[in-house]
Amino acid sequence: MTNELTLNMNAYLPLRDVVFHTLREAILKGELKPGERLMELQLASKLGVSRTPIREAIRMLEQEGLAVTVPRKGAEVARMTEKDMEDVLLIREALDELAATLACEEMTKEELEELKNTSVEFEEYTKTGEVRCIAEADVRFHDIIYRATRNPKLISILNNLREQLYRYRVEYLKDEKNYPTLIREHNEIIMGIAAKEKEKVKSAMHNHVNNQAAAVKEMIREQSV
């Protein structure tokens, strides 16, 4: 287990959430490797907390697909597999296309302006190399589209799916050669929504998700060699 693991304290969050965010970031950064054991006693000692918030944080990691409990072995960092990624992105493709077509009808001028500003913000972050900030800007971009659907049930499902997708999103954003494609795709989505051209938006969103799937699939294959 990495020696660099330290608790990122935040006075405004419950301890379990602080532990969760610390472990989550370590997994996404690769400091905790796929298949690495998440031993409660060792983590509690390293982070200076009791086992209870560790146990609760591990459950939260399992909900995001970042950890898995193996019978007779315990919790470990989940390995990324092509099958898992394909399953999640297949659902995301269908729901994102639905959300984008609904947004064509429902998005206000103010929301469209917000979407444009967030796209510019995303592009600016790609120049910093700060993957977490880039990922968060990408999440905000899609959240504006989700919110514009005016469909609380769809938004709830998409928010749950987003957590499972976060790891794959981060892996995709670690490679800066993907940034020009993402920026172009964001602009195509914006233009489609602004023109209320549903088929154009649907096609742009389809390409957006499939390009990510292809890139992450290649990364998974390289890591498994």
- Quick: pLDDT tens for 23-70: 998 998 888 989 999 999 999 999 999 999 999 999 999 988 899 999
Six-digit token string for 133: 């900030």
2: pLDDT strictly greater than 60: no
Write the DSSP symbol of residue 79. Answer: P
Q: What is the pLDDT of residue 222?
A: 84
Domains in the chain with CATH codes: 15-77 (1.10.10.10), 82-224 (1.20.120.530)
Q: What is the pLDDT of residue 103?
A: 97
Task: State how far the Cα of 186 lies from the Cα of 208, in Å rounded to an integer.
Answer: 8
Q: pTM of the predicted model, to two decimals? A: 0.82
Confidence of residue 197 (pLDDT cuts 50, 70, 90): very high
Q: Which region among 54-68, 126-140, 209-223 has the lowest average model confidence (pLDDT)?
A: 209-223
Q: Please, where are the H alpha helices in the chain?
A: 15-29, 40-47, 51-63, 82-106, 109-125, 131-147, 152-173, 179-194, 198-224
